[in-house]
Amino acid sequence: MKLSRSRKDIRHERILSALEANPALRVAQLAEDLSVSSETIRRDLAELDQLGRISRTYGGAVRSSHFEPALNERMTIHVPERRAIAQAAMQRYGGMDTLLLGGGATMVQFARALRFTQQRMTVVTPAYAIANELAANPLIEVMMLPGTFEPQEGLVGGPETIRAIARYRTQATIIGASGLDEDGVSEAMLSAGEVYAAMLQHAGESVILADHSKFEKRALVLLRRWSEGLTLITDRQPANGLATAIRENGGTLVVTPPAG
Where residue 35 sits, what CATH number does that domain have?
1.10.10.10
Predicted pLDDT of residue 195: 96
Residue 18 shares a structural domain with residue 93: no
Predicted pLDDT of residue 119: 93
| Beta-bridge mates of residue 82 | none
Q: What is the CATH number of the domain that holds 133?
A: 3.40.50.1360
Predicted pLDDT of residue 7: 86
Residues with Cβ within 8 Å of residue 242, at least 6 apart in sequence: 180, 181, 182, 215, 216
Predicted pLDDT of residue 1: 36
Indicate the burial class of 151 (C-beta count within 10 angstroms; 0-12, 13-18, 19 or more). Answer: exposed
Structural domain tally of the chain? 2
Residue 33 shares a structural domain with residue 81: no
Residue 92 shares a structural domain with residue 59: no
Residue 106 shares a structural domain with residue 19: no
Q: How far apart are the C-alpha atoms of 192 and 195, rounded to whole Å? A: 5
Q: Are 174 and 182 in contact (CB under 8 A)?
A: no
Predicted pLDDT of residue 32: 92
pLDDT < 50 regions, the chain: 1-4, 66-67
18: containing domain: 7-66
Predicted pLDDT of residue 3: 41
Is residue 44, in this structure, part of any structural domain at all? yes
Which is nearest to 102 in space by CA: 183, 238, 221?
221
Residue 192 shares a structural domain with residue 97: yes
Residue 108 shares a structural domain with residue 229: yes
221-225 vs 184-187, strand pairing mode? antiparallel
Predicted pLDDT of residue 22: 72
Q: Are 62 and 24 in contact (CB under 8 A)?
A: yes
